Structure 1
């Protein structure tokens, strides 16, 4: 008995701890702190469905406890049989109608939100130059990195999605290899990234919420896609419409990043020999989609992580280049530990860390 009581107390402690931890979260990553119209609607639907479930559970528990106490076997009345209610038309109607009403209450806003969030007709409207009248981003998921293409602006980025605030941004989402899922918890989602078709949807970031998160959010792959699925993250940087327009101009103007040191110049030559067949270093890369086999490195020097997981410094960059599988198992980048000397790695790292576009 004492042992059972001890286990029960331990389970209670874990239950309370789990409940407390469920309320923890950061504004840049938590779906429970919505930062946009889509996330807000999804949050309201979660609250509605959870409230309905809690009410149903509470009613069932009350009925169960009432029956347990009121109709328990009592001494001297072992053979007593309570009044039977099977066939009672009123009760049958009540417990048939109530679930239907609850389902209708839940179904109407869910269906309305589904059609609203799936409305991408604005993407089909073109201007006289054949460009969309709205901002469109093509998202392509790879093992294990993300590519973001702004087709009407002629810009390609990797691992960092830049979005203007207080404006709908429309997405074409697909996968290059296996099934993935595109999800920015605080802004909205998720949506599947498939190999055989393109899924479309839109998101919008609230500027006030973006300020609370320092204009930085994080996205994730929400579909188990391989051994490094948990490491397949990306950064979402938000800015005002004016700053976004300036960012576009800066990215479009960056055509030939020049090394700033002699060591970086050597690194550029090594890059052209060993890396340029897969990686690009300009955001306006003109290669077709099929030739973009690895992340665009145009803004590599501005990133906060190497390969999305390591602290952004030269030592970690060299470790990654030497043996990528040690950090992201299953990724498609080859190891260069036998092809490049330490001097080559120093030069290559110096060149890559100098690849910057913004505020150049």
Structure 2
């Protein structure tokens, strides 16, 4: 009876695991459904190594089982000693040469592809007018958010990376505080971001993200960086080349945009007095602000990278960001209150409405 119950428990456990695993493999997040040249080649390498390792495991297991069955005591008798093959040159050559061949089959494509992905010489190519021809994005990882600067276009944004499809996009990766790691699972990666040195690589985005579940690809920090590491998400919006150019023009058009402390709009006035010192609302310019650029906040997919994108989530975040992302730099040194001070409920509501209205796409 107990044995039967244990079998049913095991069956139930497997059933529950199947339910959870059924959520894997989404186009916007899965490395097994790549949407770019880099991701596809990385998947091919993964499949190649998996096939070879599986072959080795199967062959070794079969040899072991055959020896186990053929030379078991009940079959050959008590006093039978199998033929000894110690010192056999033939066997030694076989189990030396075959692993070398298998390692070469793995090593040659892995090394070749690694050097290919590391080739970023095109970042420095220029046209007849001296303008760089490749799209380059400076990525700066911070506790716990991402800044994306487009130096050739003269624009900057945060938390939501916007890129065109069908071309190589080059990245300069660095960290502002501690080691992080830039990873877009469905497209390719990952690459560490360090404080003292610059890492470079490229990705290719094959399809527009508008048809995905949330309209974006998901990006992650893949290096343990602090108490809110798991919440350090960013999103990637891929557009057609024409739509991307239009987005760039819309970002440039926000040049000089700011908030007025004397505004009759309570939300704008509150932002100017409490937030403008850390957060810019103009997408034109360079990065380096203490907090994320909020020019496109109304166009984003999430609040703080993971909360639902609505005013209620934003108000909760403004009231106490420490509750949602422990260790974030919006709190004072003691972590007891936001650095912008305590705002009234009326100010928070007006501020949330103002920030949600910041957009270049609407």
1:267 aligns with 2:270: no
Q: CA deviation at 1:329?
A: 0.7
Other-structure match for 2:334: none
1:351 aligns with 2:348: no
1:309 aligns with 2:306: yes
The superposition leaves residues 225-271 of structure 1 with CA deviations (integer Å, 9 ceiling, x where unpaired) of 11111111111000111111111111101135588xx9982211111
Give the stretch that moved more between structures: 66-75 or 135-144.
Answer: 66-75
SS at match of 2:141: strand
Q: CA deviation at 1:285?
A: 3.5
Q: Give the alignment of 1:63-82 within 5 angstroms.
A: 63-74=63-74, 77-82=77-82
Other-structure match for 1:340: 343
SS at match of 2:183: strand
SS at match of 1:339: coil
**Aligned CA-pair RMSD:** 2.6
For residues 75 and 108 of structure 1, the distance between their equivalents in structure 2, rounded to whole angstroms, comes to: 46
Q: Is contact 1:170-1:203 (8 Å) kept?
A: yes
Q: CA deviation at 1:350?
A: 1.6
1:144 aligns with 2:173: no
Q: 1:9 to 1:101 in 2, by over 3 A?
A: farther
Q: 1:134 to 1:272 in 2, by over 3 A?
A: same
Other-structure match for 2:328: 331
SS at match of 1:40: helix
Q: Is contact 2:160-2:235 (8 Å) kept?
A: yes
Q: CA deviation at 1:77?
A: 1.4
Other-structure match for 1:299: 296
Q: 1:79 to 1:158 in 2, by over 3 A?
A: same
Q: Is contact 1:263-1:351 (8 Å) kept?
A: no
Q: Is contact 2:258-2:282 (8 Å) kept?
A: no
Q: CA deviation at 1:29?
A: 0.4
Q: CA deviation at 1:309?
A: 1.7
Give the stretch that moved more between structures: 113-122 or 74-83.
Answer: 74-83
Give the stretch that moved more between structures: 332-341 or 186-195.
Answer: 332-341
Q: 1:69 to 1:18 in 2, by over 3 A?
A: farther
1:26 aligns with 2:11: no
The superposition leaves residues 33-81 of structure 1 with CA deviations (integer Å, 9 ceiling, x where unpaired) of 0100000000000000000010000001100110110011117811211
Q: Structure 2-normalised TM-score?
A: 0.90
Aligned length: 352
| Unaligned runs of at least 5 residues, structure 2 | 332-336
The superposition leaves residues 196-227 of structure 1 with CA deviations (integer Å, 9 ceiling, x where unpaired) of 111000000113x7565365211000001111
Q: CA deviation at 1:343?
A: 1.2
1:175 aligns with 2:175: yes
| Unaligned runs of at least 5 residues, structure 1 | none
